[in-house]
Amino acid sequence: MVKCPECGEIVELIDGMETGEIIECGNCGVELEITSLTPVKLEIFEEEEK
Amino acid sequence: MDDDTRRINRIIAELGDGFLKDHGFTIFNIHIRSVAKGLVLSGECLTDKQLALLKKSVRSLSLTQKAIFDVNVLTGGGLVNRSDKWGKAGKSLVNVTNDMAGSKLTTQITQNDNYFRIIAQQDGMALVQLEDRTLGWVNGGDISIHNMDLSERRSGLRLAERGKTLTVSSIEPLFCEASKYVNKVKYLHGGKSTGGMDCSAFVQTVFKDACKIIMPRHTLDQMRCGIRVPKKSIGSGDLIFAKVKGRRIMHVGIALFENDGMIFHSCLREKLVIRENIDDFFKHYTFAGAARIVEKAP
């Protein structure tokens, strides 16, 4: 279990997810990058301009 | 008006002003009403991020009453009953831009595209919402405007949904359709025509023409559709999302598994729509997720 760094709600990862994957916080909708799996760490992901 | 409502109203006003500076225009109509369970914030805003910021700001207030959010995100949930005016492209290709000055190409519409909703008209420009829910400005002279009700513009298209897959009779048409563009159409950021298209426009075009499914216009919004799939379970027809190595730029393509794993995508690097071996693809991109949008009917 890991908390969203934006809103503090629990974010659930599905089995098999990898470091580097982008997920969405189901509560606040912010995009999060999985930066570590052991322990699970999430950082807010903001896309840069192309 | 109680103290909680007054404090929330102040937050709404401050956020609305800030969003206007950011976007040049915004839709941020939030109203508060009191119910037995607390205070309901209802209305509409433009983006998920605006709603996230509203929630964060309100929660930081330490209110005495519970705040309940019932806000429609227009780029995600669509505009409802806002206007009966609908538009069609009046020439072969119409640019949709992020502001009235046409600073940045958001996407493009063609005469083959379905009707789009006219939100507002100002100084010869029209703020429109397309069938994929993208919002943007078009030159009023480039479009025709019609008054019509919903029954007249039904298209038989289905919107890709969050958390579920859509059933199709076959996924083969996806690859037939994707192949039509390979090595023929160049990469163009914001483009959505045979004159050039970006990665998400390629996915959008293929899914619409092959399966009659409307995908969102932008990569991160496409990532919210369907069901998430682990990398080891990716199958043909799934969307693969990736980041350009060393950058925070999102990219998307359509997976095809025959003898080898392949991916169809409008490639930033090659500046072309290509079909590429998946191992070669991941030499340049880092895996960021996969989503299953369609499944073959049993």
Note the pLDDT tens digit of each residue in A14-36.
889 999 999 998 877 788 999 99
* Total residues found in chain B within this entry: 298
**Mutation for A interface: B56, B187, B238, most A CBs within 10 A:** B56
Name the residue among B49, B73, B289 with its Cβ closest to that of A21.
Answer: B289
Q: What's the N-to-C CA distance of chain B in angstroms?
A: 57
Asked whether the bond before B216 is cis by omega within 30 degrees of 0, the reply is no
Name the residue among A14, A23, A31 with its Cβ closest to that of B230.
Answer: A14
pLDDT recorded at residue B239: 98
pLDDT recorded at residue B22: 53
- Per-residue pLDDT of chain B (298 residues), as tens digits, is 789 999 999 999 888 877 765 555 567 889 999 998 889 999 888 777 788 889 888 988 889 998 999 888 776 544 444 557 889 999 999 999 987 888 888 899 998 888 888 887 888 888 888 887 788 889 999 999 887 665 555 567 788 888 899 999 999 999 999 999 999 999 999 999 999 999 999 999 999 999 999 898 889 889 989 999 999 999 999 999 999 998 989 999 999 987 789 999 999 999 999 999 999 999 999 999 999 999 998 8
| CATH (residue range B3-77) | 3.30.300
Alpha-carbon distance A1 to nearest alpha carbon in chain B (angstroms): 18
Tokens of B252: 């998307």
Instruction: Judge whether B287 is closer than 8 Å to chain A, CB to CB.
Output: yes
Instruction: Judge whether B247 is closer than 8 Å to chain A, CB to CB.
Output: yes
pLDDT recorded at residue B100: 80
- The domain ranges of chain A are 2-44
Using a pLDDT cut of 90, give the percent of chain A over it.
Answer: 50
Q: Do B248 and A16 touch (CB under 8 A)?
A: no
User: Is CATH 3.90.1720.10 correct for B158-296?
Assistant: yes
Name the residue among B55, B198, B286 with its Cβ closest to that of A7.
Answer: B55
Q: Count Cβ atoms within 10 A of the Cβ of residue B158 and give its class: 0-12 exposed, 13-18 middle, 19 or more buried.
A: middle
Above 80 in pLDDT, residue A12? Answer: yes
pLDDT recorded at residue B75: 64
CB atoms within 10 A of CB A10: 11
CA distance B37 to B82: 29
pLDDT recorded at residue B39: 92
- The domain ranges of chain B are 3-77, 85-153, 158-296
Q: Is the ipTM of this complex over 0.90?
A: yes
Q: Count Cβ atoms within 10 A of the Cβ of residue B204 and give its class: 0-12 exposed, 13-18 middle, 19 or more buried.
A: buried
Whether B69 contacts B55, CB under 8 Å: yes
- Greater confidence (B208 vs A49) lies with B208
Q: Which residues contact B225 (CB under 8 A, 6 or more apart)?
A: B160, B161, B162, B215, B216, B291, B293
Instruction: Judge whether B184 is closer than 8 Å to chain A, CB to CB.
Output: no
- Matching CATH number, B85-153, of 3.30.930.10, 3.30.70.360, 1.10.10.10, 2.30.30.40: 2.30.30.40
Written out in words, the top-level CATH class of the domain with range A2-44 is: mainly beta
Model pTM? 0.73
User: What one-character DSSP code corresponds to residue A49?
Assistant: P
CA distance B76 to B224: 10
Give Cα B102 distance to the centre of its chain: 19
B261-267 vs B272-277, strand pairing mode: antiparallel
